[in-house]
Amino acid sequence: MTKLLMIDPKERLGARDTIGYPSIKGHPFFDNVQFDTLHNSTPPQIQTYIGDPDKTDAIWERHPNMQPGLGPAEMSRILKMQIEDGSHEESDPEPDADDPDDDLSISSESSCLPPSGNIGDMSDEECSRLLDLQRQNNEFH
């Protein structure tokens, strides 16, 4: 379906309809929907999910003070998690402990992030060094 999630409300599908939203109702996505009797239909059942109440979610264990939303602190946490959860290519599953240049091992013990956890606090030299490593070792760089 196009034009339904436009940022400008005036550009959204149905915005220029005067009565009853015929442009939305006529869209192929809604071919099987009977709008005239929709209010009489039974909504689909939603399965209730009940997790093990004695088991703490691993994410909450790792980040007990996590807050909803995507503010700067949350974005920094997500980026840090992505960096720390990085992995090696299958050809090199274990880093060579004797190789000082092998900085691909990213874990909570040896993170390339500064202590603040904010990538913006990283020095230009450190950013350049990490980008060079990524350029050399990441096929998707």
pLDDT digits (tens, 9 = 90+) for 47-69: 887 778 888 888 888 888 888 77
Helical H segments across 30-141, by residue range: 58-62, 72-84, 124-137
The answer to the question of residue 25 being in a domain is yes
Q: Is the pLDDT of residue 91 over 90?
A: no
Q: How many domains does the chain have?
A: 1
**Predicted pLDDT of residue 78:** 83
Q: Is the pLDDT of residue 26 over 60?
A: yes
Contacts of 40 (CB under 8 A, 6+ apart): none
Mean pLDDT of the chain: 76
The answer to the question of residue 138 being in a domain is no
The answer to the question of residue 55 being in a domain is no
The answer to the question of residue 57 being in a domain is no
107-124 pLDDT tens trace: 334 456 677 777 778 888
The answer to the question of residue 27 being in a domain is yes
